[in-house]
Structure 1
């Protein structure tokens, strides 16, 4: 699991940095972006083993990013974050190739368990 490259895309800057710090301390190599455009630039520049994408972003949704990252690297595992109660989106995400989804508010320990399980 070491040297696992993770890309987090989350428009809430504080929450995004919190997850980045948490996962970095657990030994992951983490990059983050607050919008889809920045995420796509990062995806072009390097390969990620895991993507953790918020469904609702200012410029696109997490499923669009999911499809782009899977096209470039089909082995990338993707976790979609949705607001509590967005079960329909979670099912759509799985249908489009997401490996897991997690409902907000997110407990970092729970996220770590999801990452280790995919």
Structure 2
């Protein structure tokens, strides 16, 4: 598994590309998806060290993707992004095996600290 390879799943294209550029500059290989289906395709065809999943996606939610990653016996670390105030979702994510969660709006530097702490 490539621990330096990160999957970002975020339906806000501008924010997604901003995170992709930021993490690439910090020496990570980043693939991104704007919907759950395309994320699942990437997961099937790649090995990721970390997956950063938005909870709210157009076709499914981040916990659905988290369950898929964990059901494959993957050692991928999962960070779930939720809107500020979604503590119930964060608790459910941890129950399903998420390694960390961050609240939006996200400061990329803080996200980098979370990633390095995994």
Q: TM-score range by the shorter chain?
A: over 0.9
Paired residues, number: 117
Q: Distance in 2 between matches of 1:5 and 1:102?
A: 19
Q: Distance in 2 between matches of 1:37 and 1:70?
A: 16
Correspondence for 1:105: 105
TM-score normalised by length of structure 2: 0.96
Structure 2: unaligned runs, 5 residues or longer: none
For residues 40-81 of structure 1, the C-alpha deviation after alignment (integer angstroms, 9 at most, x for no partner) is: 010111111100000000000000101111222431000000
Q: Distance in 2 between matches of 1:42 and 1:7?
A: 8
TM-score normalised by length of structure 1: 0.96
Structure 1: unaligned runs, 5 residues or longer: none
Runs of 4+ in 1 over 3 A off after TM superposition: none
Root-mean-square deviation (CA, aligned residues, Å) is 1.2
